[in-house]
Amino acid sequence: ITCPSFGIHLDCPFLPSGWKPDGMYVIQPIHKEECQFYILASPRPKEEGLSISMVANNETVTKFPWLAPPEDIKEGDYGKGGWEDEYSALPKGAQTESSTLAENLEKLFREEVPAFYELLESQKEVVFGSARINRRVSWLKLIPGEKNEENAYTTRDGRVTLIGDAAHAMTPSMGEGCNTAMESGVKLVQCVVEVMKEKGEVEECS
């Protein structure tokens, strides 16, 4: 099982009128249950425009297959060609018989986030032309639990695990990321203590 989420990044060269330069905006599609994505728009420092990230997952790809990132990246296809490469080498659907990734995204924004699309429309060629589909996390493989009931957000060797908002999707408000990180941290410690007790590595754990 691979990482279920990925992102599409776009650059906007201007800050929409009336937007605060020190905030983050969360935009949801009209049919959010069907589309299964949301958009994070963050003003860049010194009024240098807007960074737009569309967070998608497997359900998104079911409805919009042209958004699917490639399963893997081939050496030399893009940039360094390794796991450090930020973007997909050749996003699926980036160029189709009838339309490009930019055209597909423009249509999607126009239909699902019309108010946000209107803010970008004056420079839509620049904004949607900058679109890149980020690679899925390649080092992370979600492995099923013992009873195949849930997935563990860890690498196969068990040396790295995700906690907090790295493992749980949420909006950047009300300190949710910090709260889930603390909850996950407590659970992680409990699991480590349990394993240590089972192996007899410590006489007493508290």
The pLDDT of residue 110 is: 95
The pLDDT of residue 84 is: 45
pLDDT in tens, 60-97: 888 888 887 765 555 455 444 444 454 444 444 444 43
Q: Where are the alpha helices (DSSP H) in the chain?
A: 32-35, 58-63, 101-112, 114-120, 124-129, 176-199
Q: What is the dihedral of CA 169, 52, 70, 137, to 10 degrees?
A: -40
All residues at 6 or more sequence positions from 136 whose CB lies less than 8 Å from its CB, including other chains? 2, 3, 5, 6, 69
Q: What tokens does 59 get?
A: 């359900």
pLDDT in tens, 106-164: 999 999 999 999 999 999 999 998 888 876 655 555 555 555 555 567 766 677 777 77
What's the start-to-end Cα distance of the chain, in Å? 34
Query: What 3-state class would DSSP assign to 57?
Result: strand
Neighbours of 123 (CB within 10 A): 14
pLDDT in tens, 149-179: 555 677 666 777 777 777 766 655 566 677 7
**What is the average pLDDT score of the chain?**
75
Model-wide pTM > 0.75 = no
